[in-house]
């Protein structure tokens, strides 16, 4: 038996624990088979050179755990249950070659995240927090953050915001899921979604039990004329900067949507994902400000700070708040420390200073990609307003965007064909979605150069 058990008196692990580990392992992997009788405690203790109590304790532990049992003859033996069959090798997560130039949209410049300053805010948050707030916390989110966000959303986004209408979530994704679940529970069945739009968000909507009904997008945003005919109970849209096509929702369409929502009792879900970045003028205010009683407004720090923080929020109509909070109760409250750090950033002005720095950086990068597209890629049409962290470039029609994206990936250049975001496919479409936030100006040029080479080849 001591083949299975190597006791090390200097390991810092108690002898009986070592004995148990050795026996457990041997039983599990079949070296000790079921019904095998073990030596008496006295015999094994002698064999291993340990006090008998060590073996007594070890056997008792493994009996308690079910690995060993006492036979009808009063002997300790290996129990029946502990031997599963062989298992297949572990599955590993998918990968692919690392990208040298990653133009996939959706991420801010992660190297621009001010780590030291954030760490300081976290430290202050931990230091000052009353013990009681280390519990499960306020399901709605920390009051200080909800207050700070209410002020911020009122000022920066023209929203009608109160702390009591705000719910802190794990990024916008959780907020969208909770809102859709609450709407579904109130009887909603269909939700208008922009086409194109972000596929994972459409998946979240569908997972909550709502049927996404695609509505085409043009240079003025979602084409809302006739929306009443699709009999939707809600609409999910990106009014400040349509993702991915880049339009700001036109005023007449804002009015039409609000009118439709009021007349039909539908809700508008406003995904305000990157309104902080507008380079030619002030951002257009939130749709929520027009109709706080019909709009579920969602935002996050994923584009302004970092997605890894998982900080998002909903600003909700009063009549939906309790229903959404009920859904949040199943997910549990969000971690409190990053909430307190973000509140400090908002209240101290650090958040706005950070945004100003990043806005300048992104504007330079936007100019760089526009110049590179102009000089190296035949000056394709660039759609949408001067805003955000990505551009849509419409290449000459002979180019198939999906094929180009595949070829580019093999050369270490990550791009999304516009078709990746579409519900109704337009095969062979040439347009690309290019995120530029995470690449320096030289990298942008080199990446576009590589694309140009591929197109010429």
Q: Give the shortest CB-50-to-a copy of itself separation in angstroms.
A: 16
Q: Which stretch binds a copy of itself (CB under 8 A): 228-236, 288-296, 393-401, 440-448?
A: 288-296
User: Given the complex with a copy of itself, which of 56 and 455 has the nearer CB atom?
Assistant: 56
Among 22, 105, 141, 171, binds a copy of itself (CB under 8 A): 171
For a copy of itself, the closer CB: 84 or 427:
84
Q: Which of residues 106-145 bind a copy of itself (CB under 8 A)?
A: 107, 110-111, 113, 115-116, 118-120, 122-123, 126-127, 129, 131-138, 140
Taking each helix axis from N to C terminus, what angle separates 441-456 and 350-376, rounded to the nearest 10 degrees?
30
> Are 237 and 268 spatial neighbours (Cβ–Cβ below 8 Å)?
yes
Sole binder of a copy of itself in the list 254, 303, 390, 416 (CB under 8 A): 254
Cis peptide before 133 (omega within 30 of 0): no
> What's CA 190's distance to the chain center, in Å?
24
Residue 211: strand, helix, or coil: strand
- With binding defined as CB under 8 A, does residue 403 bind a copy of itself? no
Q: Which is nearer to a copy of itself, 328 or 376 (CB)?
A: 328
Nearer to a copy of itself, 57 or 383 (CB): 57
Closest CA to 173 of 151, 196, 198: 198
Site membership for a copy of itself, residue 455 (CB under 8 A): no
**155 binds a copy of itself, rule: CB under 8 A:** yes
Contact 406, 420 (CB under 8 A): no
C-alpha separations of 58 from 17, 35, 306, 365, 424 in Å: 7, 18, 49, 65, 65
Residue from the set 78, 198, 237, 287 that interacts with a copy of itself by CB under 8 A:
287
Of 157-165, 264-272, 367-375, 400-408, which part binds a copy of itself (CB under 8 A)?
A: 157-165
Where in 363-402 is the site for a copy of itself (CB under 8 A)?
none
Give Dmax over CA atoms of the chain in angstroms. 90
Residue from the set 105, 221, 338, 380 that interacts with a copy of itself by CB under 8 A: 338
Core vs surface per residue 415-444: b (16+ CB within 10 A) or e: bbbbbbbbbeeeeebbbbbbbbbbbebebb
Beta carbon of residue 208, minimum distance to a copy of itself (angstroms, whole number): 9
**Which two structure tokens, joined as six digits, stand for 418?**
């516009």
How many residues comprise the chain?
Answer: 457
Size of residue set near a copy of itself by CB under 8 A = 102
81 lies in the site for a copy of itself, by CB under 8 A:
yes
10 binds a copy of itself (CB under 8 A): no
Q: How far apart are CA 342 and CA 149, in angstroms?
A: 9
- Is the peptide bond prior to 62 cis by the omega test (within 30 degrees of 0)? no
The answer to whether 3 contacts a copy of itself (rule: CB under 8 A) is no
Is residue 255 close enough to count as binding a copy of itself by CB under 8 A?
yes
Q: Which of 1, 36, 323, 337 binds a copy of itself (CB under 8 A)?
A: 337
Rounded to whole angstroms, how far apart are CA atoms 269 and 102? 30
Query: Closer CB to a copy of itself, residue 66 or residue 216?
Result: 66
The binding track of 15-54 with respect to a copy of itself, each residue x by CB under 8 A or -, is -xx--xx--x---x--------------------------
Considering the rule CB under 8 A, would residue 447 count as an interface residue with a copy of itself? no
Q: How far is the CB of 14 from a copy of itself (least distance, A)?
A: 8
Give all strands (DSSP E) within 71-165, no chain letters.
76-78, 101-102
The position carrying tokens 């299975």 is 4
Among 292, 414, 417, 435, indicate the residue that binds a copy of itself (CB under 8 A): 292
Dihedral Cα 44, 50, 56, 59, nearest 10 deg: -60
């Amino acid at each position: 038996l001591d083949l299975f058990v190597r006791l090390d008196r200097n390991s810092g692990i108690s002898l009986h624990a070592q004995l148990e580990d050795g026996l457990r392992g041997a039983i599990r992997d079949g070296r000790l088979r079921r019904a095998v009788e073990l030596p008496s405690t006295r015999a094994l203790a002698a064999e291993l050179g340990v006090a008998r109590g060590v073996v007594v304790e070890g056997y008792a532990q493994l009996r308690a755990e079910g690995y060993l049992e006492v036979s009808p003859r009063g002997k300790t033996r290996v129990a029946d249950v502990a031997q599963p069959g062989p298992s297949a090798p572990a599955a590993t997560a998918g990968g692919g070659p690392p990208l040298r130039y990653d133009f996939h949209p959706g991420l801010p410049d992660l190297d621009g995240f001010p780590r030291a300053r954030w760490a300081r805010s976290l430290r202050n948050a931990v230091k000052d927090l009353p013990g009681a707030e280390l519990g499960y916390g306020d399901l709605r989110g920390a009051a200080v953050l909800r207050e700070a966000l209410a002020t911020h959303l009122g000022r920066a986004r023209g929203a009608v915001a109160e702390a009591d209408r705000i719910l802190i979530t794990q990024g916008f994704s959780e907020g969208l899921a909770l809102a859709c679940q609450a709407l579904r529970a109130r009887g909603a069945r269909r939700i208008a979604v922009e086409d194109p739009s972000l596929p994972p968000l459409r998946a979240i909507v569908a997972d909550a039990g709502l049927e996404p009904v695609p509505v085409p997008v043009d240079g003025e945003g979602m084409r809302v004329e006739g929306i009443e005919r699709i009999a939707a109970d809600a609409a999910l849209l990106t009014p400040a900067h349509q993702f991915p096509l880049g339009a700001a929702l036109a005023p007449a369409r804002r009015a039409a949507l609000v009118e439709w929502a009021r007349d039909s009792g539908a809700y508008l879900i406003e995904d305000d994902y990157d309104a902080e970045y507008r380079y030619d003028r002030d951002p257009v205010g939130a749709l929520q400000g027009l109709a706080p009683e019909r709009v579920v407004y969602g935002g996050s720090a994923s584009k302004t700070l970092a997605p890894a923080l998982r900080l998002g929020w909903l600003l909700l109509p009063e009549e939906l708040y309790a229903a959404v909070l009920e859904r949040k109760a199943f997910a549990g409250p969000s971690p409190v420390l990053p909430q307190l750090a973000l509140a400090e950033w908002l209240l101290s002005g650090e958040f706005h200073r950070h945004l100003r720095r990043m806005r300048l950086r992104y504007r330079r990068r936007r100019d760089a990609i526009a110049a590179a597209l102009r000089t190296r890629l035949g000056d394709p049409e660039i759609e949408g307003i001067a805003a955000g962290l990505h551009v849509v470039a419409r290449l000459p029609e002979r180019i198939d965007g999906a094929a180009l994206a595949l070829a580019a990936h093999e050369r270490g250049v990550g791009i999304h064909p516009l078709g990746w975001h579409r519900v109704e496919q337009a095969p062979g479409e040439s347009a690309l979605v290019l995120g530029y936030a995470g690449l320096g100006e030289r990298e942008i040029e080199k990446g576009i150069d590589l694309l140009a080479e591929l197109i010429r080849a």
